[in-house]
Structure 1
Amino acid sequence: MSDTSVDNLPIDISSNKLLDWLIDRRHVQGKWTSVALTVREKINNAIQDMPEVEEIKQLVVGTYINYFHCKRIVELLKVSESNTKNIFGRYSSQRMKDWLEVVSIYERDNIYLAESAHLLTQNVNYEIPAIRRSILKCKQLQAECDRKEKDYISQAASAKDDFQTSCKKLGIKGEKIKTELIKLVADLPQIYSKILSKAQKLHKVTEFYEAFVQFTVGSQDSGTDEQFPICPALGYILQHGNTTVYRWRTGKDPMSIEEVKLVALEEEKDVQEDEVGINEMINDETNDDNDVNHVNEMPRHN
């Protein structure tokens, strides 16, 4: 096996021991965190003056800016700051100088290797498990929402059946409920007429019932002359027919009768389903500047 192939062989190193391995093999210095703090300060100063490039905005906002982000920013600045390049191939733009200095400090003594190893350890031990727990909770919430959706669909179908059954009992279609119920009121005179015609056939029944009551109950109160009416409402209808309530209460005919006219309702508009608003929307009220300062804080070296 040649020396070149031996150099290309992978080395199996535990992620928790990667940073210690780099320090033991003297690829990085043991006090790399102090240099990394200097890099953080220069990055925080550099991001205060950035060009209006969409990709750069996405890189510097809402994330921890590391070595690879800085390299990408330099590549983008080579395009946006190309007009500041002199005949010697150097840039006169202060933006480019600031970011080139950051990259230079990163590459000096392999600081970027130590930071990358530290971030890898943080992601493996904390970030990835936290994301997995979050995914599990989201899946459980999704399953619960699916179950509730099925329950609500079943309840909606049951309510619809009950509604249709109630409409059939009332004799309406249920499309325009108010109008259909008002129309049912207009049928009341015909219903009263049918009841009156059928009640006229109950003369002999009421006479028999009255005689039965007088024979059974009246004999116990033979010492009193007071007689109580039997089936007063039915007896009144048989004697006088369908009259006004005023005559039924007072026994006198009213001087005038004012008929109640049902006002026709305007054509009802079709009821559309209400739009359900999502009240559990999470509003991100974090200030962008605070986000940038937060994500660029150097993580502590364990």
Structure 2
Amino acid sequence: MIDWLISRRHCKKDYQKSIDMIRNKIRLAIQDMPQIDEVHELLQRNVFDYYVCKRIIEILKNTDKNSKNIFGQYTSKRFQDWQEICKYYEKDNVYLAEDAQTLIRNVNYEIPSLKKCQSKYEQQISDLERSIENSRKQSKNFLNEYYANCKKLAINGNDIREELYSQLEILPEKMSILADQIPSLISVCNYYKSFIHFV
């Protein structure tokens, strides 16, 4: 793409020198910026191209509007710095060469990298979905086992502590029933004694 731009004389062969010079000017210009949210976001992104520079000029038109002279020109140094940067971009269509570089980099590196990340994340999502399904099955099995054990203890399992304590209240009654049944075992005990004596 860059070769096409050069062959059609839209850009010069030494466009890279111009880009390097512009980036140096940008590094100096960002040292003096208005303290507003949009500018802060642009600085955090740390991506400065022709279009960002144009946006900064639009911002400065509002923040530095009091710096106009009688001819309506901005006298603010930072406004003039960014205006100069945009002019360098527009000279010999340097911004087109930079756009072509960005496009080529995106096609050759960024997009394939994003596709790999996408594939990786899709695999992770698939693994997580399987893990969730397995966890649900295990949870269901544990719940069934839990209620089965609760049934053995004759409790509902809604409040184990209270339900087990409530079992203590009927314990004397059960012990009393067992005590009442002990006399019926006397004949069995006597039979066992006789058997032991006989042997």
Name the TM-score, length of structure 1 as normaliser.
Answer: 0.62
Say whether residues 1:99 and 2:49 are aligned partners.
no
Give the corresponding residue for 1:207.
Answer: 190
Cα deviation, residue 86, structure 1:
1.4
**Runs ≥4 in structure 1, deviation > 3 angstroms?**
none
Given candidates 91, 94, 97, the residue that maps to 1:108 is 91
Instruction: Tell me how far apart the structure 1 counterparts of residues 65 and 52 of structure 2 sit (CA, whole Å).
Output: 19
Cα deviation, residue 118, structure 1:
0.7
Give the corresponding residue for 1:272.
Answer: none
Cα RMSD (Å) of the superposition? 1.7
Map Cα deviations across residues 221-241 of structure 1 (whole Å, 9 max, x no partner).
xxxxxxxxxxxxxxxxxxxxx
Equivalent positions of 1:204-283 (< 5 A) are 204-216=187-199
Equivalent positions of 1:74-85 (< 5 A) are 74-85=57-68
Cα deviation, residue 145, structure 1:
1.7
Q: With a CA cutoff of 8 Å and minimum separation of 6, indicate the structure with the bigger relative contact order.
A: 1
Instruction: Tell me how far apart the structure 2 counterparts of residues 107 and 60 of structure 1 sit (CA, whole Å).
Output: 22
Give the corresponding residue for 2:155.
Answer: 172
Give the corresponding residue for 2:110.
Answer: 127
> Structure 2: 5+ residue runs without aligned partners?
none
Give the corresponding residue for 1:244.
Answer: none
Say whether residues 1:53 and 2:39 are aligned partners.
no
Give the stretch that moved more between structures: 48-57 or 76-85: 48-57
Map Cα deviations across residues 238-267 of structure 1 (whole Å, 9 max, x no partner).
xxxxxxxxxxxxxxxxxxxxxxxxxxxxxx
Residue aligned with 1:28, SS: coil
| AA in 1 matched with 2:193 | E
Instruction: Tell me how far apart the structure 1 counterparts of residues 90 and 55 of structure 2 sit (CA, whole Å).
Output: 15
Instruction: Tell me how far apart the structure 1 counterparts of residues 30 and 79 of structure 2 sit (CA, whole Å).
Output: 11
Question: When the two structures are aligned, how many residues end up with a matched partner?
Answer: 199
Equivalent positions of 1:30-69 (< 5 A) are 30-69=13-52
Instruction: Tell me how far apart the structure 2 counterparts of residues 106 and 201 of structure 1 sit (CA, whole Å).
Output: 110
> Structure 1: 5+ residue runs without aligned partners?
1-17, 217-302
Name the TM-score, length of structure 2 as normaliser.
Answer: 0.91
Residue aligned with 2:9, SS: coil
Say whether residues 1:183 and 2:159 are aligned partners.
no
Give the corresponding residue for 1:22.
Answer: 5
Say whether residues 1:89 and 2:76 are aligned partners.
no
Instruction: Tell me how far apart the structure 1 counterparts of residues 126 and 98 of structure 2 sit (CA, whole Å).
Output: 40
Residue aligned with 2:45, SS: coil
Instruction: Tell me how far apart the structure 2 counterparts of residues 93 and 153 of structure 1 sit (CA, whole Å).
Output: 65
Cα deviation, residue 147, structure 1:
2.0
Instruction: Tell me how far apart the structure 1 counterparts of residues 21 and 92 of structure 2 sit (CA, whole Å).
Output: 14
Instruction: Tell me how far apart the structure 1 counterparts of residues 106 and 97 of structure 2 sit (CA, whole Å).
Output: 14
Cα deviation, residue 27, structure 1:
2.4
Say whether residues 1:193 and 2:176 are aligned partners.
yes
Give the corresponding residue for 1:151.
Answer: 134
Instruction: Tell me how far apart the structure 2 counterparts of residues 210 and 33 of structure 1 sit (CA, whole Å).
Output: 112
Residue aligned with 1:61, SS: helix
Distance 1:84 1:39, change over 3 A: same
Say whether residues 1:160 and 2:143 are aligned partners.
yes
Cα deviation, residue 106, structure 1:
1.0
Give the corresponding residue for 1:243.
Answer: none
- Aligned identity (percent) is 38
| AA in 1 matched with 2:76 | S
Query: Which structure has the larger Rg over C-alpha atoms?
Result: 1
Instruction: Tell me how far apart the structure 1 counterparts of residues 183 and 99 of structure 2 sit (CA, whole Å).
Output: 102
